[in-house]
Amino acid sequence: GYPYNLDFEYGALSQLQHFSINNLGDPFIESNYGVHSRQFEVGVLDWFARLWDLEKDEYWGYITNCGTEGNLHGILVGREVFPDGILYASRDSHYSVFKAARMYRMDCVKVDTLVSGEIDCADFGRKLLENKDKPAIINVNIGTTVKGAVDDLDLVIETLEKSGFKDRFYIHCDGALFGLMMPFVKQVPLFCTLMP
């Protein structure tokens, strides 16, 4: 199951609890709000970009309070890129992915999974062909909540291209469980958020 730690020991960081760390707006744009921690937020984003081998001008982001907010935002970006797109997610995806589909009134297709919990790309391909007239927005998991399954990004992209979605797809990678760990594990595929 999902590893949840309730033993919070802030130690040396406890003194920082007295400061406002609410950043208003885009952390990469100067703000007229004087109390912020933008430079720390951008520093964290830069650290993750280096971890995932992203070039300086090839990423944007902000720090969320939880994986759910990350999924909500990532899927919203996909819907903005493809307003008539269909969201595809494996049945083992986090509940927030399906919550996002309801909130944004998106068509959502649940894709079967393998025993491992990984997306079944054969089923994914069949479901893509049923909706080949609409762009695809796909949630790819970097560690599902219950089984820890990591979807094969290369196979997902191959399935999209074989199904005729060469430039009509957006991929959101939900890395809430293993996104931080995967770059440190040898012999695993590299993930990144893809936009056509």
How far is residue 153's CA from residue 133's CA, in Å, rounded to a whole number?
23
Q: Give me the pLDDT at residue 192, please.
A: 46
From 14, 36, 63, the end of a domain falls on 63
Q: Are residues 55 and 118 in the same domain?
A: no
Q: Give me the pLDDT at residue 193, please.
A: 42
Q: CB of 176 within 8 A of CB of 70?
A: yes
Q: Are residues 2 and 95 in the same domain?
A: no
Domain contains 15 = yes
Q: Are residues 167 and 100 in the same domain?
A: yes
Q: Are residues 102 and 48 in the same domain?
A: no
Q: Are residues 95 and 142 in the same domain?
A: yes
Domain contains 110 = yes
From 63, 93, 112, the end of a domain falls on 63
Domain contains 137 = yes
Neighbours of 179 (CB within 10 A): 19
Q: Are residues 160 and 102 in the same domain?
A: yes
**Domain span holding position 88:** 65-184
Q: Are residues 77 and 103 in the same domain?
A: yes
How far is residue 121's CA from residue 151's CA, in Å, rounded to a whole number?
9
Q: Give me the pLDDT at residue 2, please.
A: 56
Which amino acid, residue 75?
I
> Position of tokens 């479901």?
127
The SS3 call for residue 139 is strand
**pLDDT (tens digit per residue) in 145-183:** 889 999 999 999 999 999 999 899 999 999 888 888 888
Q: Are residues 24 and 91 in the same domain?
A: no
- Residue from 137, 124, 134 nearest 171 by CA: 137
From 63, 96, 111, the end of a domain falls on 63
Q: Give me the pLDDT at residue 189, please.
A: 56
Domain contains 97 = yes
**pLDDT (tens digit per residue) in 22-55:** 777 888 988 777 778 888 899 999 999 998 889 9
* Number of domains composing the chain: 2
Domain contains 13 = yes
How far is residue 106's CA from residue 79's CA, in Å, rounded to a whole number?
8
Q: Are residues 97 and 170 in the same domain?
A: yes
Q: Are residues 123 and 165 in the same domain?
A: yes
Calculate the dihedral angle through the C-alpha atoms of 100, 103, 106, 109, rounding to the nearest 10 degrees.
50
Q: Are residues 59 and 72 in the same domain?
A: no
Domain contains 98 = yes
Reported as type and span, the H/E element at residue 170 is strand 169-174
The predicted model gives 102-108 an average pLDDT of 97
Domain contains 195 = no
Residue 125 has pLDDT above 60, yes or no: yes
Residue 186 has pLDDT above 70, yes or no: no
- For residue 127, CA distances in Å to 57, 70, 88, 114, 153 come to 35, 26, 9, 15, 17
**pLDDT (tens digit per residue) in 50-89:** 988 899 889 988 888 888 999 999 999 999 999 999 999 9
- What CATH number does residue 178 fall under? 3.40.640.10
Domain contains 192 = no
Q: Are residues 126 and 29 in the same domain?
A: no
